[in-house]
Amino acid sequence: MAEIITANIGYKPNQDVFSETMQRLAENDKDIIAVTSDSRGSGKLVPFGKKFPKQIVEVGIAEQNLVGVAAGLASCGKKVFAVSPACFLTARALEQIKNDVAYSDNPVKVIGISAGVSYGALGSTHHSLHDFAVLRAINNIIIVAPADNYETEKAVELASQTPHPVYMRFGKKPMPLLNEANDDSFAFGKGRVIREGDDVAIIATGETVYPALLAANKLSEQNISTAVVSMHTIKPLDTALVKKLAEKCRAVITVEEHSVCGGLGEACASYLLQQGIMKPFAIIGIPDEYTVTGSQQDIFNHYDISEKGIAARAVSLLKK
């Protein structure tokens, strides 16, 4: 059950699955529109643009304009996916997301590509380590970070049917399938239990679920029973699942490709504390410092977002 299944659609970047799903949806729905800002290459939407030239709108390098135009299109019944690197979309165009999308309830799907530190050595201008935090503080936008190809496909399908704003972020790295992907239970706001366990619970999101699962397998060699959850929806948070895990396990760890400030970890901590549930708790993410330079993998290793790093934190947390 904890096995990582790599057959059928495994090992594609989630971004590729996003683009394939977009093509499938557009096949039967002329209202599906992608809006891009010189970002169709990074968003893997070149084939989409060739196949559906009337369903792609290009605004040039202008992310604020991108989100505003998307809001206008969405207000007229178009199912709009505004696609641009997560770093620019959720920083530069934040006011457009806040006012034109969330506040006005225009059901734009804001798609942040190459999210987190996917752009590694391009540096902090190209990292999105703030997107969960800023969007969590904005009312009326669902925040999703799919872990694998299965979750990505389901999330994109679901978003296209959701009549409200959704933010979704993807990375560039090929992702293995994490679990039996043939159940149809995927829903926003419902975390997926990838592995059961009762010593420590690891609540991870996006591309960090995979190293969390590897860490859990490693911990089981030391007879530490570890639960792993893919918390693909950061908001609304699956508080029932967070509560259940924290009550059952001796310690809780969260993992995210995001600043430790204001993301998944703090959302869980805030909820648990207000419920009066106090367990040894650790947030693994990018600390509040000048981010180390290097590739995504270098950065992950440096900050313990790795099999070894997560397992070591679990062991030390259980000693508390």
Partner 1 sequence: MTIKELKQRSIQYRKNVLKYILQAKAGHTGGSLSCVDILNVLYNDTMNVSPQNFSSPDRDRYIQSKGHSVEALYVVLADKGFFPEKDLETLCQYKSHYIGHPTRKVNGIEQNTGALGHGLPIAAGTALAAKLDGRAYRVFTLLGDGELPEGSNWEAALTAAHYQLDNLCAIIDKNTLQITGATADVCNTDPLDKKFESFGWAVKEVDGNDPGELKKLFDSLPFEKGKPSLVIAHTVKGKGVSFMENDVKWHHGVPGKEQYEKAIEELDHALTVI
Nearest residue to 256 via CA among 246, 245, 267, 247: 267
The reply on whether position 273 binds partner 1 by CB under 8 A is no
From CA 119, how far away is CA 147, in angstroms rounded? 18
CB of 63 to partner 1, least distance (A): 8
The reply on whether position 40 binds partner 1 by CB under 8 A is yes
- Between the alpha carbon of residue 110 and those of residues 6, 66, 288, the distances in Å are 29, 10, 26
Interaction partner, residue 12 (partner 1, ligand TPP, none; CB < 5-8 Å by kind): none
Burial of residue 174 (CB within 10 Å: 0-12, 13-18, 19+) is middle
Nearest residue to 280 via CA among 202, 195, 210, 224: 202
Which of 1, 7, 54, 60 contacts partner 1 by CB under 8 A?
60
236 DSSP 8-state letter: S
Binding segment toward partner 1, per CB under 8 A, in 103-111, 114-122, 129-137, 139-147: 114-122
The reply on whether position 250 binds partner 1 by CB under 8 A is no
If the CB atoms of residues 29 and 58 are measured against partner 1, the closer one turns out to be: 58
Decide if 2 contacts 195 (C-beta within 8 A). Answer: yes
Which of 29, 293, 308, 316 contacts partner 1 by CB under 8 A?
293
Three-class secondary structure of residue 187 per DSSP: coil
If the CB atoms of residues 27 and 95 are measured against ligand TPP, the closer one turns out to be: 95
Half-sphere exposure of 75 (CA within 13 A, CB side): 12
Three-class secondary structure of residue 60 per DSSP: coil
If the CB atoms of residues 62 and 318 are measured against ligand TPP, the closer one turns out to be: 62
If the CB atoms of residues 157 and 298 are measured against partner 1, the closer one turns out to be: 298
If the CB atoms of residues 121 and 240 are measured against partner 1, the closer one turns out to be: 121
The reply on whether position 51 binds partner 1 by CB under 8 A is no
Give me the residues that bind ligand TPP (CB under 6 A), please: 38, 61, 88
Interaction partner, residue 270 (partner 1, ligand TPP, none; CB < 5-8 Å by kind): none
The reply on whether position 59 binds partner 1 by CB under 8 A is yes
Residues with Cβ within 8 Å of 25's Cβ and at least 6 positions away in sequence, in order, are 32, 79, 156, 157, 160
If the CB atoms of residues 125 and 222 are measured against ligand TPP, the closer one turns out to be: 125
From CA 52, how far away is CA 29, in angstroms rounded? 11
Q: Which two tokens stand for residue 180?
A: 């039996």
CB of 119 to partner 1, least distance (A): 8
If the CB atoms of residues 40 and 195 are measured against ligand TPP, the closer one turns out to be: 40
Three-class secondary structure of residue 150 per DSSP: helix
Which of 47, 123, 236, 287 contacts partner 1 by CB under 8 A?
123
The reply on whether position 134 binds partner 1 by CB under 8 A is no
Counted residue by residue, the chain has a size of 320
The dihedral sign for the CA sequence 8, 10, 11, 13: positive
Which residues are at the interface with partner 1 (CB under 8 A)? 36, 38-42, 58-65, 87-88, 91-92, 119, 121-126, 292-295, 298, 302
